[in-house]
Structure formats: structure tokens, C-alpha cells
């Protein structure tokens, strides 16, 4: 299976990943050969097999829903990480234009 | 022997007897770092003043009851360290200084560990050679033309070249065992959930494990005692008692049943290397172990299963690097442009490839064919391991299909690079622990220097003790782990 440049662009857009034309070309080839390699999984019979995502068998681990305070200096450090901030809030471009 | 070449155990004895101080050990490490790290390139950042301050404090208190107290350690630069730059070897986090430390790091620091610096890695731990570092590749101390393995390549190379006593690495599919094998040191991939993942940047959350790389199994056991255990900040760490991993190491392995899964000795594994591992197995047999051949027929599906699942998980985990709250941030007119440009400029080729692959396998129309199918095969592989462990106490295989390859050899062929994980990633799929110990050397066809070979010892879930015991008994009977690279 060969991925088209349009398909690569669609995935890159879903992933919010800016790619150059050269990268699109390269990934179209590389991803195609990797996906071909993945095809062999079809040989495995998985009828009625449950998928697993938690390998040691733990289930919903809960804790009390208690508010834990964050120290003001930690809060400041966290906000200071942001490239732009204002009034102790993280600032960015508008989501809706 | 130089101070920086001691094992943790030996150094702890010396500290207790006041033969030398933690400051002496720390200075010895920095002398070595200054001598060799221009060549090896195993550290992204060094924390000399921080380390010397810490060592002085530990010396003042003079309490060396915890064996890690006063001992210099390297930390893979994917563990957050409070107030100290943590990059994941990515340009997107080039200047990131975390306001908190990972639980494993915090536990070490509480016990008086002396952090000397942050070790290089493949960007976000994605890779098997450390060539994917966003800054520079690390070299193998046994042959500087070759890779140290990855992704914890900086950690393994630093320990192998005596720049620190041990290092914390991470293992998602090979990343502790493969570099440990390539560099001739000892590394443990723990059972999933045994050590907290809190504060370690996520690659694939249902696979990531945290563990030590050291010079001996004995040292690995000492580190484990401190870092293992339940953490309320990581809900995947179960409430299972942390044993004293050092206890029982001396118990002989007579009568222990060791399985050899025949698929791990099949075609594709270097013949010369296979001979070395077979010699090591004979040694275990002479120590009284019972060797039985077993079969894990699903092994051939491990690579596609593993890569579909980890790249899917990675694509969602890496969504957080969006240029808004921290890290690199591109100037742009719209939010969409900001995302595209920040991520396009900040991530390297393998990370981009991973995000693309994972986004594809999770996208509408492909989810069932790829992600869900692989998650089902994961169930089958887990069951296959469980069944095999009804017959044997542990398994032994080569850690890697070949010894360290040359820098640049596989970097342009991602699939070839992925295949380096063929003997190690099934263990992460099953969530069981595995140890890599040095078991000999081979001279590659394309090189002058002999390169280390690793033997992988695989255990049952949460049974690190058995594999540590086998590894320790093997190291008592051999001295491969004592060899040092000439750094030519």
C-alpha cells in the first residue's frame, strides 16, 4: 500500500504537525513500507480476544476527590514556563477567529 | 583501581570506613568526565556545583546506611529534575526547566544520591542508537565509531566509561537492555508498574518502565530497593511489597528451571553472538540450573504489535507539546499556524515519523485494523508468556540480535532500526521484567575492536528477585562485567 501525499498531508494536519515538501515525500515512502510490514498481523486469529491496555491487570484506581493546594511559588514557576502570560494566566491566540 | 571505577557496594564500604569521602568520589567522576566525555558525549548537561554541594552535605551528615548515599549518579535527561534543565534530547524542550522532580529522582535524592548530570538519549526515548538525539549522538566507549545503543545510550556509555557509578534509564521496548548490552554493563527493565513513571516524560504510557543501569547485578539490586514501590502520583504502580532485592542474591541456582525460547535463537541473530550466549548458558547449567527448550511462536508478531501500539500512544502523549504552556513556541498569526510551526520546528525526524504513524493507526477507519488488532495480539502474547512461565522459573536469550553497529548504518532506514528491538520488545508487550548482563565479546566483521554481548534473563511479573539472583550467580562465576573499554 502506498500512501499518497494528500493522505500524508491529512494525517499531518490531524496531528498539527507542519511538514516540508521533502518531509512529506520521505514519510509517504517510509510510512508505506512500515504499514506494509504491519500487514502480517492479519495472519493472527484474534476472534473473541479482548484487547489489553493495562498489562498488570489493575482496574480503575480511585482516590478521594480532595483539593490539594499548589504553593504560590510553584504556581508562579508553572505560569513562568509559558512563552506568553498575563495576570497570572497563560496567554495564546484566539481559538475562534 | 580508581575511585570512580568502584562498584556502589565497594564505594559504600569505603565511605563507611572513612577511606574516602563523597566529595572524593564526585571529584573523581568529574575528572573522568573531563577526560573522556568530549569523545563519548554521554551527557547533555553537567551539574558539577550542584553535585559538589550535595556531596559536601552528605559528608557532613556522614550517614551511609543507605548504600546510595554519597554515590554519584547520572540521570537520563527524560526524568524531570527540579530547577535543572530537562530536555528529553528534543529541541522543543531545549530550555525547559521543570518546577518538580520525578518520583524516582526524588527518592534517590532523599537517600543522599549525588546527581552529576543528565544523560543523552534518543529524542523522547524513541530510538535504539541515541543517534536520534536532537543535539548530538553518543559514542560507544568500546569503539567510538559505533553507537552505544538506545534510547538510554548516554546512561549506558557513561557507566561503561566510569563517568558515574550508575544511571537511571527508561525502557519502553529495549531502551535499558539494548544499550546495556552494547556497552557491556548491567541493566534492568522492571515489571511494568514496579517503579513510578511520575515526572518522566511519557513515550508510550502502557509500556514505559524506569530502571537502573549499573556495573553489577548487586548494584542494580541496591538501586531497586530505593526506587521501587507504589506512588500515589502514578496509578499504575500497584500496592505490592518491595522486597529487599539484595537478599537472596547469594542463593545458588541449583535446580532452577531456565527456558530457552527457540524463536530467540533463530535466523537473524548473529551466529558468533549466539555462540557466546550458548557458552553463558552452559555456565548456568554448570551452576546447577536445568535448561529446557521452550517455544513462544508469537514472537514473530512482536515488532508490528509493539510499534503499532507504542506509536499510537506516543502520538497522543506528544500532543501536549503545543507551544502554549512551556517549551519552544513559534511566532504565528493564528493558533493553527502556531501548532504547525512549533511542532514542525521542534521535533526531529523519528518523533515526527512516530506521531504520523500513531495518528494514522488511531484515525477513523484504521483503528480496528491496526490499534485494536495489535491490542488483541498483545493479549495473546501476554498469555503465551504466562503459559511458558508455568513450565520454567525464568528464560534466557541474547539481549540483542547483533552487537553495536556503526554510527549512520541504520539511521536512514527506520524499519531496520526497529528490528534491533526484536528480542527485547516482546518483554514490554508482556509487561514482565528482564535483566541484561554482559556475557562475552565478539569481533564484528567490519571492525577491529571486540564488542560486548548481552544475555537477557526474563522473569515473571513482579519477580525481579529470581532474575537478579541468576544474574548475580552468573557474575560471581564470570568476569565479563569487570572488563573496561580502552576508549580507543
| Interface contacts A/B by beta carbons within 8 Å | 156
CATH number for B161: 3.90.1300.10
Judge whether B334 counts as a catalytic residue.
no
- Residue-wise pLDDT for A29-82, tens only, equals 999 999 999 999 999 999 999 999 899 999 888 888 999 888 898 899 999 999
Give CA–CA dist B347/B313, Å, rounded: 17
What is the pLDDT averaged over residues B329-358?
96
Verify whether residue B76 is a known catalytic residue.
Answer: yes
Q: Which among B323, B363, B372 has the least Cβ separation from residue A51? A: B372
- Whole-angstrom Cα Rg for chain A: 23
B373/A82 Cβ within 8 A: no
Which tens digits make up the pLDDT trace of B64-122?
A: 999 999 999 999 999 999 999 999 999 999 999 999 999 999 999 999 999 999 999 99
B297 contacts: CB under 8 Å, gap ≥ 6: B263, B384
- CA-to-CA distance for B79 and B273, rounded, in angstroms? 33
Contact of A89 with chain B, judged by CB distance below 8 Å, is answered with no
Catalytic residue among B22, B151, B155, B354: B151
**Which of B206, B235, B360 is closest, CB to CB, to A31?**
B360
User: Given a cut of 70, is residue B488 above it in pLDDT?
Assistant: no
Yes or no, beta carbons of A27 and B332 under 8 Å apart: no
Distance CA B441, CA B451 (A): 5
Instruction: Please name the residue of chain B whose CA is at the shortest distance from the CA of residue A10.
Output: B360
Range of the domain at B148: 3-254
Query: Are A50 and B301 in contact (CB < 8 Å)?
Result: no
Separation of alpha carbons A27 and A31, rounded Å: 5
Instruction: Dump pLDDT digits (tens) for B7-65.
Output: 999 999 999 999 999 999 999 999 999 999 999 999 999 999 999 999 999 999 999 99
Please compute, for residue B380, the number of CA atoms within 13 A of its CA located in the half-sphere on the CB side.
22
Mean pLDDT, chain B, rounded, equals 97
Q: What is the pLDDT of residues A1-31, one digit of tens each?
A: 789 999 999 999 999 999 999 999 999 999 9
Contact yes or no for B127/B386 (Cβ under 8 A): no
How many domains does chain B divide into? 1
Instruction: Give domain status of residue B474, yes or no.
Output: no
pLDDT of amino acid A59: 87
Q: Mutating which of B239, B376, B425 best tests the A interface, going by the most A Cβ atoms within 10 A?
A: B376
Residues B152, B226: Cα–Cα separation, whole Å: 20
Note down the domain range covering A26: 5-43
| Contacts A19 to B, Cβ<8 Å | 344, 352
pLDDT band at B303 (very low <50, low <70, confident <90, very high): very high
**Is position A34 within any domain?**
yes
B304 touches chain A (CB under 8 A): yes
- CB of A36 less than 8 A from some CB of B: no
First to last CA, chain B: 20
Q: Is A19 part of the contact surface with chain B (CB cutoff 8 Å)?
A: yes
Q: Is B352 a catalytic residue?
A: no
pLDDT of amino acid B379: 98
Of A18, A43, A52, the CB nearest to B382: A52
B53 located within any domain: yes
Residues whose CB falls within 8 Å of the CB of residue A19, separated by 6 or more in sequence, listed in order: A8, A9, A12, A27, B344, B352
Q: Does the CB of B360 have a partner CB in chain A at under 8 Å? A: yes
Minimum Cα–Cα distance from A20: chain B residue:
B344
Task: Please report, for residues B177, B356, B438, B488, the alpha-carbon distance to residue B185 in angstroms, rounded to integers and kept in the order given.
Answer: 9, 34, 6, 18
The total domain count for chain A is 1
Kindly report the CATH number assigned to the domain that includes residue A26: 1.10.20.60
- Please state the ipTM of this predicted complex: 0.95
User: CB of B453 within 8 A of CB of B392?
Assistant: no
Is residue B243 over pLDDT 70?
Answer: yes
pLDDT of B1: 84
Q: Express as a percent the part of chain B with pLDDT over 70.
A: 100
Residues of B in contact with A51 (CB under 8 A): 372, 375-376, 378-379
Contacts of B305 in chain A (CB under 8 A): 41
Amino acid at each position: 500500500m502506498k500512501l499518497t501525499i494528500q493522505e500524508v498531508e491529512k494525517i499531518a494536519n490531524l496531528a498539527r504537525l507542519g511538514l516540508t515538501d521533502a518531509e512529506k515525500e520521505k514519510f509517504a515512502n517510509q510510512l508505506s513500507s512500515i504499514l506494509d510490514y504491519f500487514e502480517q498481523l492479519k495472519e493472527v486469529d484474534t476472534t473473541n480476544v479482548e484487547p489489553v491496555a493495562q498489562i498488570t491487570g489493575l482496574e480503575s484506581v480511585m482516590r478521594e476527590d480532595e483539593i490539594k493546594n499548589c504553593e504560590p511559588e510553584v504556581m508562579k514557576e508553572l505560569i513562568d514556563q509559558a512563552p506568553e502570560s498575563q495576570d497570572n494566566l497563560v496567554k495564546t491566540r484566539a481559538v475562534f477567529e | 583501581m580508581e575511585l570512580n571505577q568502584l562498584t556502589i557496594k565497594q564505594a559504600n564500604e569505603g565511605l563507611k570506613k572513612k577511606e574516602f569521602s563523597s566529595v572524593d568520589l564526585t571529584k573523581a567522576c568529574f575528572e573522568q568526565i573531563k577526560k573522556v566525555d568530549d569523545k563519548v558525549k554521554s551527557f547533555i548537561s553537567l551539574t558539577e556545583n550542584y553535585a559538589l554541594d550535595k556531596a559536601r552535605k552528605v559528608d557532613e551528615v556522614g550517614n551511609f546506611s543507605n548504600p546510595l548515599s554519597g554515590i554519584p549518579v547520572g540521570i537520563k535527561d527524560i526524568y524531570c529534575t527540579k530547577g535543572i534543565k530537562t530536555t528529553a534530547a528534543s529541541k522543543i524542550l531545549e530550555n525547559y526547566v521543570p518546577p518538580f522532580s520525578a518520583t524516582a529522582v526524588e527518592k534517590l535524592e532523599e537517600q543522599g544520591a549525588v546527581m552529576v548530570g543528565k544523560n543523552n538519549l534518543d529524542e523522547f526515548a524513541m530510538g535504539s542508537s541515541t543517534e536520534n538525539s536532537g543535539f548530538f549522538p553518543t559514542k560507544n566507549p568500546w569503539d567510538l565509531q559505533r553507537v552505544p545503543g538506545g534510547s538510554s545510550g548516554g546512561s549506558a556509555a557513561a557507566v561503561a566509561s566510569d563517568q558515574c557509578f550508575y544511571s537511571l534509564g527508561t525502557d519502553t521496548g529495549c531502551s535499558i537492555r539494548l544499550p546495556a548490552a552494547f556497552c557491556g554493563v548491567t541493566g534492568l527493565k522492571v515489571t511494568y508498574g514496579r517503579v513510578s513513571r511520575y515526572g518522566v516524560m511519557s513515550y508510550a504510557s502502557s509500556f514505559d518502565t524506569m530502571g537502573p543501569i549499573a556495573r553489577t547485578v548487586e548494584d542494580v539490586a541496591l538501586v531497586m530497593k530505593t526506587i521501587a514501590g507504589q506512588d500515589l502520583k502514578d496509578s499504575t504502580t500497584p500496592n505490592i511489597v518491595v522486597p529487599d532485592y539484595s537478599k537472596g542474591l547469594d542463593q545458588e541456582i541449583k535446580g532452577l528451571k531456565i527456558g530457552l525460547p527457540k524463536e530467540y535463537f533463530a535466523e537473524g541473530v548473529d551466529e558468533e553472538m549466539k555462540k557466546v550466549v550458548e557458552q553463558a548458558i552452559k555456565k548456568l547449567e554448570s551452576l546447577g540450573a536445568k535448561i529446557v527448550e521452550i517455544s513462544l511462536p508469537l514472537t514473530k508478531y512482536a515488532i508490528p504489535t509493539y510499534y503499532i501500539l507504542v506509536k499510537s500512544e506516543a502520538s497522543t502523549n506528544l500532543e501536549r507539546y503545543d507551544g502554549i504552556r512551556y517549551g519552544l513556541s513559534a511566532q504565528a498569526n493564528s493558533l493553527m499556524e502556531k501548532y504547525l510551526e512549533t511542532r514542525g520546528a521542534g521535533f526531529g525526524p523519528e518523533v515526527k515519523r512516530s506521531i504520523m504513524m500513531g495518528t494514522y493507526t488511531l484515525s477513523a477507519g484504521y483503528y480496528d485494523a491496526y490499534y485494536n488488532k495489535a491490542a488483541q495480539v498483545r493479549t495473546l502474547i501476554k498469555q503465551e508468556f504466562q503459559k511458558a512461565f508455568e513450565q520454567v522459573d525464568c528464560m534466557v536469550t541474547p539481549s540483542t540480535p547483533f552487537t553495536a553497529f556503526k554510527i549512520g548504518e541504520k539511521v536512514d532506514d527506520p524499519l531496520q532500526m526497529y528490528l534491533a528491538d526484536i528480542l527485547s520488545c516482546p518483554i514490554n508487550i508482556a509487561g514482565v521484567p528482564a535483566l541484561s548482563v554482559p556475557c562475552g565479546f565478539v569481533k564484528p566483521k567490519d571492525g577491529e575492536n571486540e564488542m560486548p554481548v548481552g544475555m537477557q534473563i526474563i522473569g515473571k511479573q513482579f519477580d525481579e528477585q529470581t532474575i537478579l539472583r541468576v544474574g548475580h550467580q552468573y557474575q560471581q562465576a564470570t568476569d565479563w562485567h569487570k572488563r573496561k573499554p580502552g576508549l580507543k
